[in-house]
Amino acid sequence: MIRAIRLKTILFLILFTAVSLHAQLAVKGETVYTMSGAPIADGIVLISTGKITAVGKAGEVSIPADYRFLSAKVVTPGLIDAHSVVGLAGIYNQPHDQDQLDKSAPIQPELRALDAYNPREDLVEWLRNLGVTTLHTGHAPGALISGQSIIVKTGGATLEQVLIDSSAMLTVTLGASVGQNFDSPGTRSKGVAMLRSEFLKAQDYLKKKQAKDASKRPARDLKMEALGEALSGRLPVLITANRATEISSALRLAKEFNLNLIIDGAAEAYLLLEEIKKAGAPVIIHPTMARHWGDTQNASFETAAKLKDAGIRFAFQGGYESYVPKTRVVLYEAALAAANGLAFQDALAALTIDSARILGIDHRVGSLEAGKDADVVLFNGDPFEYLTRVCAVIINGEVVHDVCR
């Protein structure tokens, strides 16, 4: 009996602690873009213990009296930056905060972004305050294989608190930027040949690992293990490919090795819409405002709209900058695409639900639905307008920011 009471008390305390950490919230929006259906006028999102518990029209969803009430003109799901280097690359652009690329070898699939990610990086806070709640981040483009990326939430001080996916994608780069960082590959075709050789080695490694005689199995090799995951399809392969030549090579590689391909950058995607569509590969489009030099010289403000028209799933990214500004803000990048032919709701989808689908995390984030993580952004107007401010950001049910800025 005494024991039972004690247990109840402990349970109550645990529950109480959880509740106080993750407040119960009611968020009302003049327009709520749930991204799982039509926008709701005068919508309500109820949040409890870090999750969304109900979404609906005001009047249809009753708000419990003890819930904290927040309201805004526009409410959206937390925004997702589908490809970034923030947390590995820091704001100062000095050697101590630039961990985005190891240049000792062009192929290093064993490098884990999780071993370099700094959740307290200033740029993480900057993005969070502008509504970015989920970040797919890792090594910068520039090596044939730069490592394994991670997906994190932008709220939280330790890796354990923020990690959603510890090995999200294998990050690969094709194109001239690789040649600038390494003596070899010195050409595009050499780069592809090196990748193919490495994947063949990994195929062999996987085969030998199956040997019945344990003594004949090869020793563990981190490089081969990571490539093996990619070959099995469990680890998606993000290939940064901006020129049409590189996009074609990426499609060819994916076909040859049956890779789960995501095309990154894709500055000249407008030249290969049919091929990309046919391959079923989603695209994480370069920042709309990416500088048009080097591999992105032929970038267009209208590529996102063209991907949409072609029926290709795509998402926006903050990308990688070696100089001012150190990161881009997906909200602004999507806004410019919305000003250049992409419909408002399609731009918003590419920042939320479509991005979540591409990253394989749509069971948790990307839309406002009961059961999903309570990641919500409150705006005082059209999210894309320059004069609109982000007035509150909620991550896992916690208000991490509630001053309009």
Q: Does residue 104 belong to the site contacting other proteins (CB under 8 A)?
A: no
- Provide, rounded to whole angstroms, the least separation between the CB of residue 133 and other proteins: 17
C-alpha–C-alpha distance, residues 296 and 403, integer Å:
36
Q: Whose Cβ is closer to other proteins: residue 47's or residue 307's?
A: 307
Least distance in angstroms from the C-beta of 74 to other proteins: 15
Burial grade of 24 (CB within 10 A; 0-12, 13-18, 19 or more): middle
Cβ contact 184:105 at 8 Å: no
Among 210, 213, 293, 371, binds other proteins (CB under 8 A): 293
Q: How far is the CB of 297 from other proteins (least distance, A)?
A: 6
Residue with smaller CB distance to other proteins, 294 or 360: 294
Q: Using alpha carbons, list the distances in angstroms from residue 163 to 113, 134, 138, 337, 376.
A: 11, 10, 13, 29, 18
CB of 215 to other proteins, least distance (A): 48
Q: Site map for other proteins, 105-124, x if CB under 8 A?
A: -----------------xx-
Name the residue among 316, 232, 194 with its Cα closest to residue 266.
Answer: 316
Q: Which is nearer to other proteins, 18 or 339 (CB)?
A: 339
Side chain identity at 388, as an amino acid letter?
T
Closest distance between other proteins and the C-beta of residue 92, in Å?
5
CB of 323 to other proteins, least distance (A): 5
- The C-alpha atoms of residue 92 and residue 265 are separated, in whole angstroms, by 24
Identify which of residues 154 and 396 has a Cβ nearer to other proteins in the complex: 154
Q: Report the 3 state secondary structure along 275-289.
A: HHHHHCCCEEECCCC
* Interacting positions 121-180 with other proteins (CB under 8 A): 122-123, 126
- Strands 283-285 and 314-316 come out as parallel
CA dist 192 and 392 (Å) reads: 46
- Please identify, using beta-carbon distances, which residue of 90 and 147 lies nearer to other proteins: 90
Contact 331/339 with Cβ under 8 angstroms? no
Binding mask 60-99 for other proteins (x = CB under 8 A): ------------------------------xxxxx-----
Give the number of other CB atoms < 10 A from CB of residue 165: 17
Question: In the complex with other proteins, which residue's Cβ is closer, 4 or 387?
Answer: 387
Q: By C-beta, is 49 or 98 nearer to other proteins? A: 98
| C-beta of 140 vs 253, nearer to other proteins | 140
- d(C-alpha 260, C-alpha 276), whole Å: 13
Query: Within 8-47, which residues bind other proteins (CB under 8 A)?
Result: none
Provide, rounded to whole angstroms, the least separation between the CB of residue 272 and other proteins: 11
DSSP letter (8 states) at residue 218: P
Q: Which of 302, 310, 369, 380 binds other proteins (CB under 8 A)?
A: 302
Q: Rule CB under 8 A: say whether 245 interacts with other proteins.
A: no
Give the type of residue at 94: Q
Choice from 38, 65, 214, 387 touching other proteins (CB under 8 A): 387
Residue with tokens 């075709």: 189
With the CA atoms of 74, 52, 316 and 311 taken in that order, what torsion angle do they form, in degrees rounded to the nearest 10?
-100
Q: State the nearest-atom distance from the C-beta of 206 to other proteins, in Å.
A: 37
Binding footprint of other proteins, residue count (CB under 8 A): 42
Partners of 61 in the beta sheet? 58
Between residues 54 and 271, which has the closer beta carbon with respect to other proteins?
Answer: 271
Window of 62-70, 267-275, 351-359, 393-401 that interacts with other proteins by CB under 8 A: 267-275
Within 312-351, the residues that bind other proteins by CB under 8 A are 321-329, 332, 335-336, 338-340
**Can you read off the two tokens belonging to residue 87?**
């947390």
Q: Is 341 left (phi over 0), alpha (psi -120 to 50) or beta?
A: left
351-380 burial code (b ≥16 CB/10 A, e <16) = bbbbbbbbbbbbebbbbbbeebbbbbbbbb
Of 149, 169, 384, 394, the one binding other proteins by CB under 8 A? 384
Based on CB atoms, which residue is closest to other proteins, 21 or 343? 343
Q: Which residues bind other proteins (CB under 8 A)?
A: 90-94, 122-123, 126, 268, 270-271, 289, 291-294, 297-302, 321-329, 332, 335-336, 338-340, 384-387, 389
